[in-house]
Amino acid sequence: MSIALQVTDLSKTFPVGKKLFGGARGSVKAVHPMTLSVETGETLGIVGESGCGKSTLARMLVGLLPPTTGTIEIEGAALDTADPAAFGKRIQYVFQDPISSLNPRKTIRQIMEAPLRLLHGMDRAAREERIREIFDSVNLRADFLDRYPHEFSGGQAQRIGIARALAAQARILILDEPVSALDVSVQAQVLNLLADLKREFGLTYLFISHDLAVVEAVSDRIAVLYFGSVVEEGRAEEIFAHPRHPYTKLLADSAPVVGRPLRDPETGQAELPNPLDPPPGCAFAKRCPYATEKCRATAPVLEQIGPDQRVACFHPLPAR
Ligand SMILES: Nc1ncnc2c1ncn2[C@@H]1O[C@H](COP(=O)(O)OP(=O)(O)OP(=O)(O)O)[C@@H](O)[C@H]1O
């Protein structure tokens, strides 16, 4: 198997607050140095509660946000993270909110043509042919091309968002909560379409969501994010069935709700640490029923714990 996407020590720190009288500004580490790889044809699910850094990671991966540290390699070649244009042909973003991610003043044809013209320099006839092929693949009618985004339902607009990503001919798609804005009945259709397209075009997906059931269903492997770090990573069928990190277990035992942190049933703690004043040790220690002095003092690093599982915890739950 070849590696489609390799991320090494990728991090993002945002400066926050005003600089007063030459004093230092505060900063928020949205993504701590992170190393991840995704094999060609694989779907890596990324899960975590609100604020754990999912969107910041996604935006760095598609060149919308320059990383503070680290490298991004696609099929073995490093991308110039200072050059957003280097990303478009290789990796594309499918947004959560399909309608507002499409320019309301442009027809669908204009939206679809942009990547073909700008990234691939195709002439008009070639563009039209390619757009019709892609529309066919995502089960959209060609007469939709002359309409505007607001004329579509959420499910249709998401198909258009996916079609636009495919037009760039990127082989890696970052799917950021691609179905969470859709009705449940439409979610399954879009997920089936994504599975078909993956097979048809040999795509690789990074599927970001707070919805464990969806992520488990679509992913080969899953990385669990907490407070900007991967705390556990493993096979999709194993990770929630046999979690080794106490946070993964908390996620697996509860249904995360957007904007509301999970309360650990034993410690009763729900809050995430203050990003402006992060704790020195494990970010989960305050919520964790197994935390010791060591956990409060030192941050554990992600380590191999099984053939296909990595965990960042000094006191991992026993293997089954
Ligand atoms: N531009 C910014 N300036 C300062 N802090 C930021 C900025 N963007 C994100 N953050 C902070 O970085 C952390 C991670 O945010 P991010 O939006 O990546 O999380 P998320 O997991 O995608 O959350 P959600 O699911 O709510 O979108 C949060 O503490 C957030 O407040």
Residue 272 covered by a domain: no
Give CA–CA dist 118/89, Å, rounded.
10
- Cα 118 to ligand 1 centre (Å): 30
User: Which long-range contacts does 132-136 make (Cβ < 8 Å, 24+ apart)?
Assistant: 134/163, 134/166, 134/167, 135/163
Residue nearest to atom 20 of ligand 1 (CA): 51
Length of the chain measured in residues: 320
Sheet containing 26-39: order of strands: 26-39, 3-16, 69-74, 77-78
Residue nearest to atom 13 of ligand 1 (CA): 30
- Cα 227 to ligand 1 centre (Å): 10
Residue 311 covered by a domain: no
Give CA–CA dist 71/7, Å, rounded.
6
Q: Could you give the angle at which helices 124-137 and 108-120 cross, rounded to 10 degrees?
A: 120
Residue 286 covered by a domain: no
Residue 282 covered by a domain: no
Which run of H or of E encompasses 251? helix 246-253
Residue with tokens 């990728």: 10
DSSP-based helix, strand, coil % in the chain, nearest 5: 35, 25, 45
Task: Using the atom order of ligand 1, give the atom closest to the CA of residue 225.
Answer: 21
Distance of CA 185 to the CA centre of its chain: 23
Give the count of domains, the chain.
1
Ligand 1: residue of 25, 54, 176, 251 to mutate (most ligand atoms within 8 A of CB) is 54
**Each residue's pLDDT tens digit in the chain (320 positions)?**
799 999 999 999 999 876 656 666 788 999 999 999 999 999 999 998 888 999 999 999 999 899 999 999 999 999 987 777 788 889 999 988 878 888 999 999 999 999 899 888 899 999 999 999 999 999 999 999 999 999 999 999 999 999 999 998 999 999 999 998 899 889 999 999 999 999 999 999 999 998 888 999 999 999 999 999 999 999 999 999 999 999 999 988 876 555 556 666 676 666 778 888 889 999 999 999 999 999 999 999 999 998 889 999 999 999 87
Residue 203 covered by a domain: yes
ipTM above 0.90 for this complex: yes
Residue 256 covered by a domain: no
Ligand 1: residue of 18, 27, 28 to mutate (most ligand atoms within 8 A of CB) is 28
Give CA–CA dist 170/190, Å, rounded.
19
Residue nearest to atom 2 of ligand 1 (CA): 14
Give CA–CA dist 124/147, Å, rounded.
19
For residue 22, is it left (φ>0), alpha (ψ between -120 and 50) or beta?
A: left
Q: Residue 163's domain is classified under what CATH number?
A: 3.40.50.300
Contact 98, 161 (CB under 8 A): yes
Residue 221: count other Cβ atoms within 10 Å of its Cβ. Answer: 21
- Cα 299 to ligand 1 centre (Å): 21
Task: Using the atom order of ligand 1, give the atom closest to the CA of residue 12.
Answer: 12
For residue 176, what are the domain limits? 3-12+28-247
Q: Amino acid identity of 162? A: I
Contact 13, 24 (CB under 8 A): no
Task: Using the atom order of ligand 1, give the atom closest to the CA of residue 55.
Answer: 22
Q: In 136-152, which positions are buried (b, 16+ CB within 10 angstroms) versus exposed (e)?
A: ebbebeeebbeeebeeb
Residue 108 covered by a domain: yes
Residue 125: count other Cβ atoms within 10 Å of its Cβ. Answer: 8
Ligand 1 binding site (Cβ under 6 Å of any ligand atom): 14, 16, 28, 30, 48, 50-56, 275
Contact 204, 41 (CB under 8 A): yes
Q: What is the pLDDT at residue 23?
A: 64
Give CA–CA dist 169/89, Å, rounded.
6
Give CA–CA dist 249/175, Å, rounded.
24
Residue 255 covered by a domain: no
Task: Using the atom order of ligand 1, give the atom closest to the CA of residue 31.
Answer: 14
